Amino acid sequence: MRRASQSRADRQQEETGQAGRSSQGASFNNHGSGGQINVPDGIINISTGHGNHLNGSNFNRDVYFVENGHFQLRREKPNARKPCFCVPFVRDRDFVDRPDILTWLKEQYAGSAGRMALVGMGGFGYGPPREHPSRITFALTDKSKSQVAIEFAHHVHDEAPQTSVFWVYASSKLRFEEAYRSIADTLQLPRRNNPDVDVLRLVRDWMQTEEAGSWLMVLDNVDDVNLFHPSANASENKAANQPTGENAIASSDQRPLAAYLPKYRSGTILITSRSMDAAERLTGSHKAIYRVPAMDDTRGLRLLQNKLNGDFDKDAAVDLLRALDYIPLAITQAAAYINRRAPRASVQTYLDAFRESDKKKGSLLNRDAGDLRRDETVSNSVVTTWQVTFKQIRRERPSAAKLLSFISFFNPQGIPVFVLHDYNTDLTDNVDRDAEAESDDFEDDLDVLRGYSLVSVTAAQDVFEVHSLVQFCTRAWISMVGDAERWKRVFLWSISRHFPSGTFETWRTCQLLLPHIESLLEEKPSDEELQNWTCLLTNCASYMWTTGNFGAAEILGRKAVETRVEVLGEEHPDTLISMANLASTFRNQGRWKEAEELEVGVMEIKKRVLGEEHPDTLISMNNLAITWKDQGRWKEAEELEVGVIEIKKRVLREEHPSMLMSMANLACIFSDQGRWKEAEELE
């Protein structure tokens, strides 16, 4: 299955050469004495004294074959070590075959790819599902990428036992160094215990020799690109020029880890990573990167079936898979929980508990089920696994972590980009910022999140999608570090700032934002945030009113009135606006008595505070007249509307729009009574 080996003829041409001829034997110059030595037919072994710096013990030998007077020289290679299989994980008997991924790996491997990578966020990567290739869904966990790598490593070992396979856990410099030292011990490389020898360089140099033969190295969990490329300079090229062999001293602390990745024509490095940036830098090519796609129902059910000890209801299982977003680590955790508590626990009871509350969901996702095929230092908890990535993003680019924190409060689908720019807002800072610089920062931060497969751009381009469990785990993290309340305030401030008044021309914006405000509308915030909250309530209620959803408008309007009366007082202009809006909602539902009570109250307050001739007072009087008209209380409606017109004649021009509106209202009152001539005169 491996790349074609060197032909026998080529090897013979490299290893042999004619030294001379003789009919009875052969001769060659003895440079030490200046004479000649006659040699009979046979074999002579002559040591050249050229030591092999890698093992320090084997010498190259010049072996002369003499036959029928012909000298043939073959330089013998040092004794090659036996191939080794250094993978610390057994095959998973429950592994769900991913032929698409394994086929790609085999093709890359057979095509002599020096490096190849599997990329997907630890539990939350994106990929196109089989049945909806145009849509974005979420991909496998780091566990799944590693499981595929384990399966492929065993496959290579089975198909090509002469190939050495090495496993290097690369989540930190310490783990990388431990893996290389383990390789050196397994291979019994000379001088590996010498404190003056750089073991990283020792292993790299050996793997770049013929003695190493063909090999596969799995570089697992390469998530921190700065470990391998700490800067954009040519550090790796500089490191490559450092001395090797006997002069290899312990200087690895000053060099990036990329300098210690071997490059050899018979070697391949398979990288697993959550970071597209890390994969791109280490492979050097998009073609060498496979974005791990999501599981579908069939594979998800197979994994659940493999992990569960008993039978289960298929419909409940599909619902559970969807709730867990087809994340293998979460599926495995759920199965372990059910197995442990069976028969009292089932797929359905786990699903019910998962949906019960965020607190219960967090408890379930924080459970750590043992797995022999995961590194023993790595948690099997979904929440903890995710938090490792969040910490990494925060180290790599703190502002990208801020963006993710902000995103975690939105609905997972259809997040509008125009709101996301508020993530860098400091509510205590009124300094104007450079809009162009802010836009550049946003794009850079978004690139980081997309590189970790956390955020997806939809076909609409102006909205984003994010995994619901990414949001849940992010909120759990920011709660743990004490930032949750601050981000709630930023989210409320931003949404209240962007949600418009609900007029027809703003409906599109209202529709985009509406799915994201449900949680805000349900929970009353702290006192300092009530102004933003009631503003959002009022505007949202207005949108509901204009679109005919009077029931929702009433619920939101009541909350706005109650809160503003409590916080601002009954006579505050904002309170009166909310009261008038709620009265309009009652009127449109035919609830005349409730509408009248509110409108009379608003009108009386405005007369007392603003005066009878104030435009806002006149609007309230006009609203009350309409309510009376709709009840058929023509006399009261007419008297009030005539009074409004008389006041407007004193303070406004006759052609003023407000005057014309009142005259039109009076005409409607006349028309409803059949007083057509009077109505016509006004119109």
Helix (H) or strand (E) holding 315: helix 314-323
Is residue 396 scored above 50 in pLDDT?
yes
**Which of the given ranges, 231-235, 279-283, 555-559, has the highest pLDDT on average?**
555-559
Residue 437 in this model has a pLDDT that exceeds 80: no
pLDDT of residue 253: 57
Per-residue pLDDT, 432? 54
pLDDT at 519: 87
Token pair 């994980």 is found at 89
Residue 576 and residue 608 in contact, taking contact as beta carbons nearer than 8 Å: no
Model confidence at 380, pLDDT cuts 50, 70, 90, reads: low
Cβ burial of 81 (10 Å; 0-12, 13-18, 19+) is middle
The residues with which 646 forms a beta bridge, in sequence order, are none
> Are 262 and 93 a contacting pair, CB within 8 Å?
no
pLDDT grade, residue 378 (50/70/90)?
very low
- Of all helices (H) and strands (E), which one includes residue 294? none
The arithmetic mean of pLDDT across residues 39-62, rounded, is 40
Give residue 566's pLDDT: 94
Residue percentage of the chain with pLDDT more than 90: 41
- The predicted pLDDT at position 385 comes to 72
182-186, 242-246, 576-580, range with the lowest pLDDT: 242-246
Helix (H) or strand (E) holding 636: helix 634-651
Whole-angstrom CA distances from 682 to 28, 625, 641, 663, 667 are 130, 17, 13, 6, 6
Q: Where are the alpha helices (DSSP H) in 376-527?
A: 382-396, 398-407, 417-420, 435-451, 468-480, 484-498, 507-513, 518-522
Whole-number Å distance between alpha carbons of 595 and 583? 4
Residue 665: pLDDT band (50, 70, 90) is confident
Which of helix, strand or coil describes residue 23? coil
The pLDDT score that the predictor gives to residue 91 is 84
* Burial bucket for residue 630 (CB in 10 Å: 0-12, 13-18, 19+): middle
Total Cβ atoms within 10 A of residue 100: 12
Q: What's the rounded mean pLDDT across residues 491-504? A: 95
CB contact set of 405 (below 8 Å; sequence gap of 6+): 423, 474, 478, 483, 487
pLDDT of 57: 35
Nearest 10 degrees: Cα torsion 535, 541, 547, 549: 160
Token digits for 62?
A: 């010049």
Q: What is the mean pLDDT of residues 592-602?
A: 93
Region 594-605: what's the mean pLDDT?
A: 94
Going by pLDDT thresholds of 50, 70 and 90, the confidence category of residue 546 is very high
Other Cβ atoms less than 10 A from the Cβ of 49: the count is 8
Q: Are 117 and 282 in contact (CB under 8 A)?
A: yes
Residue of 203 and 522 predicted with greater confidence: 203
Dihedral in degrees, nearest 10, Cα atoms 475, 478, 480, 486:
-110
Run of H or E including 81: none
Q: Residue 454: what pLDDT?
A: 82
Beta strands in 159-281 (DSSP E): 164-169, 215-220, 267-273
- pLDDT surpasses 70 at 247: no
The pLDDT of residue 121: 57
pLDDT, residue 348, reads 93
What's the mean pLDDT when you consider all of the chain? 79
**Average pLDDT score over residue span 315-326:** 88
Question: What is the rounded CA–CA span in Å between residue 616 and residue 14?
Answer: 100
User: Is 414 in contact with 462 (CB distance < 8 Å)?
Assistant: no
What H or E segment, with its residue span, contains residue 591? none
Checking if the pLDDT of 41 tops 80, the result is: no
- What would you report as the CA-atom Rg of the chain, rounded to the nearest whole angstrom? 38
Q: Check residue 494 and give its pLDDT.
A: 96
Residue 369 pLDDT: 55
Q: Which residue has the higher pLDDT, 575 or 63?
A: 575
Interval 158-201: pLDDT, tens: 999 999 999 999 988 988 999 999 999 999 999 999 989 999 99
Q: Spell out the residues 6+ positions from residue 329 whose beta carbon is closer than 8 angstroms to its own.
A: 122, 123, 141, 143, 144, 380, 382, 385
pLDDT digits (tens, 9 = 90+) for 104-148: 999 999 886 689 999 875 543 333 333 333 332 333 334 468 888
Lowest-pLDDT choice from 364-368, 502-506, 548-552, 573-577: 364-368
Top-confidence residue, 5 or 554: 554
Of 621 and 5, the one with more pLDDT: 621
* Range from 410-424, 429-443, 613-627, 646-660 carrying the lowest mean pLDDT: 429-443
Angle formed at CA 412 by CA 407 and CA 414, multiple of 5 degrees = 95
Give the three-class secondary structure for 240.
helix
pTM: 0.63
| pLDDT tens profile 522-544 | 889 999 999 999 999 999 999 99
Structure tokens at 188: 């019994």
Say whether 513 sits in a helix, a strand or coil.
helix
Do residues 215 and 166 make contact, with C-beta atoms less than 8 angstroms apart?
yes
